[in-house]
Amino acid sequence: MTGGVHLAGRSRARLITRLAVVAILVACGLVADLVSAAVTHPAYAHAYLVETSPVDGQVLRSPPADVRLSFNEAVSFNQRSFQLLDVTGKKLAIGAPGYVDGKANTARVSLPASLVEGTYVLAWRITSADSHVVSGAFSFSIGRPSTLAAPVEDDVSPAVPVVDAVGRALAFLGLALALGGGLFVAVLWPAGRDDRRARGIVWSGFAALTAGTVVVLLVQGPYAAGTSLTGVFDPELLGATLSTRLGHALSVRLLIVLALGVAFWIAVRPSSSLADVRTDGARTSGVGVAGLGAACAVALPFTWTLADHAQTGEQTWLAVPATSLHLLAMALWLGGLIALAACVLLPGRGRKPTGAISLEPALPRFSTLAQICFAVIAVTGVYLAWRQVGTWGALGGTDFGRLLLGKLAAVLAVVGLAAGARRFVRRRGRDPLGLDAAPYTAVRRLRHSVAGEVVLGVAVVSITAVLVNTAPARTSYAPPVHTTVPIPTTVANAAGSAAGLGGGSVEVKIEPAKPGSNVADIYITGRNGSLVAVPEVSGALESRDRSVPALPVKVSAAEPGHYVANSMSIPYPGEWVLRLDIRVSDFDETPVRVPFTAH
């Protein structure tokens, strides 16, 4: 008797330890998502600024009547989305923002006519079509630039993006436990309907899904407006969120979760059985519950994809259903895997060493489901990777691409472990005594394999959660510019020849060669390829079609012959020319024009 108590205690301790390990892994995945959102969130913008009028750094003769901003996709904004600051950082009164000619990807803000000479900064904070908040700023000057412009500070509380990330991660985890765990308990493992622990796992998924959705709904308002967490109690901000695509999706999600919860509650009642019905009424009821659950399970992922970056960019008609299938397959696999590991494979209180709960029929059924899910994940994953990456260079050249490679490595490892479990099921399935007659050592190896799948599955889900908040590589990647232009032959005469520039060239590297701040490295070399120091290099950025006045580029010496422009601002994509004026003496200067394309 005492030995039995000790055995039960040890089994219970092992179960608690393993469940704690799973919980820690899930928590680590959430932390990874939080760190990525809180520390590097600005890099995860999905909508990006394409063009402004006036352009960043432009010097105007007179005050403009308005400022216009064009984005690569539809955006939404409110009264607090735009701020005009003078050189001291004081906020100036501006007009109400609106769209230009009804175009959802443009914004217009009227400016006061009383602006005096000096530099001004327009700070903006908008919500992109995929529900992510994007912010930035650009400057322009009237008459002449001010000697010092006040820095733009982000007023949003650091806690807001962290809480938003918590909500999104909880909802994602809850989706897996509710859908995958619910299917496993209600259909794949009939005995699970009477298992309190199994039902608890599913109900915890429903709770996490509901809580995460409510958190995102409440936080989106202050997040978009750039206020503190107290904004969650502002009915005006909540109303603004509810009027957006994201607000509609979150509201529908809560209704679907409620309907799915009712279906699961009916399915796991003691008098309910979806697999064994004896009367016409019970059969009709079972079919109705199964139909309701299936419809809710299929509809639920669309509340993510119809409000995320799946419905922006190319081929949205295919990307939305493909992303929804990808999310559904991953949720069914991971949620079912966690339920299988926690309730069937891990020994619990009162079980024999080989496991008192039968592996039949849960294990072979889940093995078949996992195989289908992996096929769906592979097919949709390849398509979505192509859509979001586009080029091979973007795989290693962007955060999105590197995360995708990490996810691929984890998925391949999962497939390897799953293949081993699949072989176990097939081999033992041919045994007349069935799965439950498998030796204890074989079952233990299976447990370790499934535990490894859970670990890697949590890693895959964590990376996926970060990918959702990361700018797609197709839009964030731009191949760097690396070009060399010869120094005009006129420089070879007089002072240029004496300086060693005769027959030389200028090598220019520009990264990332896209709108916004860029770094330009400039190398001046002589005929023999060695670096040549000159008294001074000044620069200006010119549009190829001359539609924008030349923008000054500050160039400083890094080392003899090597010069750097650390903050060259490119206003918008297109053809540009970097004009470099190389002074070779007190009286001689030559211009070198370097054409390039900003993507």
* Average pLDDT rounded to a whole number, residues 90-103: 91
- Tell me which residue has tokens 């039968």: 358
Rg (CA), the chain: 30
Summarised one tens digit per residue, pLDDT across range 525-583 is 988 888 988 889 999 999 887 777 888 899 999 999 999 999 898 888 888 999 999 88
- DSSP for residue 487: P
Q: Name the nearest CA neighbour of 454 among 405, 407, 414.
A: 414
Token reading at 99: 């769209």
Phi and psi at residue 182, in whole multiples of 5°? Answer: -65, -45
Before 512, cis peptide (omega within 30)? yes
**CA 77 from centre of chain:** 21
pLDDT (tens digit per residue) in 359-380: 778 888 998 999 999 999 999 9
The predicted-structure confidence for 247-297, as pLDDT tens digits, reads as follows 999 999 999 999 999 999 998 887 555 544 445 555 566 678 888 999 999
Query: Quick check: 118 and 90 in contact, CB under 8 A?
Result: no
User: pLDDT, tens digit, for every residue of 157-200?
Assistant: 788 888 888 888 889 889 999 999 999 999 998 888 888 889 99
Report which of 378, 267, 373, 394 is spatially closest to residue 329, judged by C-alpha positions. Answer: 373
d(CA 467, CA 461): 10
The pLDDT score that the predictor gives to residue 151 is 60
pLDDT tens profile 465-521 = 777 777 788 877 888 899 999 987 655 454 455 456 777 899 999 998 888 889 999
Residue 4 has what pLDDT? 45
Q: Give yes or no for a contact between 413 and 456, defined as CB atoms under 8 angstroms apart.
A: yes
Cα first-last separation, the chain: 75
Question: How many residues belong to the chain?
Answer: 599
pLDDT at res. 326: 94
The DSSP-derived string for 32-92 is: HHHHHHHHSGGGG-SS-EEEEESPTTEEESS--SEEEEEESS-EE--TTSEEEE-TT--EE
Half-sphere CA count of 242, side-chain side, radius 13 A: 11
